[in-house]
Amino acid sequence: MNSIFRYLKSKLHVLLFLFLEIFCIIAIIRNNSYQSAFYFSNTRKLSGKVQETNHSIFDYFDLYHKNQALSNENLELRRHLKENYLIESRKVFTVNDSVYKQRYEYIPAEVITNTINQQNNYITINRGSSSGIEEGMGVFCPEGLVGTIIQVSENYSIAKSLLNTTVKIAPKIQEMNLSKGTIHWSGRDPNSIDYLEVNKYEQIKKGYHIVSSPYSNNLPENIPIGTVDKLETKSTDDFYIIKVKLAVNFGKISTVYVVKNLFKKELMELEKKLNEPKP
């Protein structure tokens, strides 16, 4: 033991030098935008390749779950088929094409990296600006809502998952058709999320479904988020403390869809006009 210390002491200057240099390089990367862009664009290219290889190997082991999720989704979609419904008024369906205009487009993507054990979790997917992905787009998987895109490079993009303490999403309670409150992750349990700011006089029950609200520009309505798991009230507080069990098992997501709102540009322009000073 003593000889180790003696050796380290004799090499103190080298260790100190290396330590300070590493410290400086980290400082450069963190604080200088040009150097950090250089570093991240090059390392992301490399890490993207490595992770993709890794993903392509381990992808096979999860095929069973993927199949199941897809077939469930198929079933769900089949339920919505036009043939399942009785046509009451022929008139509506004959003008079908001009009444319904496509609002959302979906871009399928594979998850290549994913974390669930940090305070702010991110997901990298193998599609980027070359596939038409932009910042702010919503991401969901067959089981439910996953997150929103925050960074896009040419072939990859990074999404903030719901398991991120900075995420705030406006939800809707499906059974009551009520859009209220916000969804926020406390950073502890990757299977549950907090539903805040709901007045305790609302008649919420355990098992109600929480879905995405109709007021978002980035997500279609009714994408599942989870089910109400625990309801608590405090006499001192006007709001419920609601724990929502997430619909998505974030440890297992592999195929996701990115939502493209075809009217987003139009909507944004409209909203911009509203904010412009009137002549």
Partner 1 sequence: MILDIAKYLGLYALLIALQIFVISNVTISSNLGAYFQPQLVVMFLLLLPPRMSHVWIILVSFAAGILLDTFFNTMGINAVVCTLIGYMRHYATRDIENEIATREEDNKIWTSKKGRPWKWTYFICFIFLYHFVFMIIESLSFKNFLTVILPAALISTLLTFVFTITLEDLIYKPTKS
The phi-psi region of residue 140 (left if phi > 0; otherwise alpha if psi is between -120 and 50; otherwise beta) is beta
Would you say 146 and 254 are in contact if contact means Cβ atoms under 8 Å apart? no
What is the closest distance, in whole angstroms, from the C-beta atom of residue 7 to partner 1 in the complex? 15
Question: Which among 225, 47, 76 is positioned nearest to 139, based on CA atoms?
Answer: 225
The smaller minimum CB distance to partner 1, of residues 8 and 268, is found at 8
Stretch that binds partner 1, among 24-32, 162-170, 196-204, 241-249 (CB under 8 A): 24-32
The smaller minimum CB distance to partner 1, of residues 5 and 100, is found at 5
Stretch that binds partner 1, among 10-18, 114-122, 130-138, 246-254 (CB under 8 A): 10-18
**Judged by CB under 8 A, which of 20, 50, 63, 70 binds partner 1?**
20
For residue 212, what are the β-bridge partners? 171
Task: Work out whether 17 is an interface residue with partner 1 (CB under 8 A).
Answer: yes
**Judged by CB under 8 A, which of 1, 4, 7, 12 binds partner 1?**
12
What is the maximum span of the chain, computed from C-alpha positions, in angstroms? 92
What is the closest distance, in whole angstroms, from the C-beta atom of residue 20 to partner 1 in the complex? 5
Task: Work out whether 34 is an interface residue with partner 1 (CB under 8 A).
Answer: yes
What is the closest distance, in whole angstroms, from the C-beta atom of residue 124 to partner 1 in the complex? 25
**Judged by CB under 8 A, which of 6, 38, 206, 234 binds partner 1?**
38
**Judged by CB under 8 A, which of 28, 70, 87, 267 binds partner 1?**
28
Would you say 171 and 196 are in contact if contact means Cβ atoms under 8 Å apart? no
Q: What span, in angstroms and rounded, lies between the C-alpha atoms of 157 and 151?
A: 6
Task: Work out whether 30 is an interface residue with partner 1 (CB under 8 A).
Answer: yes
Query: Which strands make up the sheet holding 240-246, listed edge to edge?
Result: 178-179, 171-173, 209-212, 224-233, 240-246, 192-196, 182-184
**Judged by CB under 8 A, which of 8, 21, 237, 267 binds partner 1?**
21
**Judged by CB under 8 A, which of 2, 3, 4, 13 binds partner 1?**
13
| Helices marked H in the chain | 2-10, 12-31, 33-58, 63-79, 90-94, 96-99, 264-275
User: What is the pattern of x (binds partner 1, CB under 8 A) and - over residues 183-212?
Assistant: ------------------------------
Would you say 256 and 158 are in contact if contact means Cβ atoms under 8 Å apart? no
How crowded is residue 34: how many other Cβ atoms within 10 Å of its Cβ?
A: 8
The footprint of partner 1 (CB under 8 A) covers 12-13, 16-17, 20-21, 24-28, 30-32, 34-35, 38
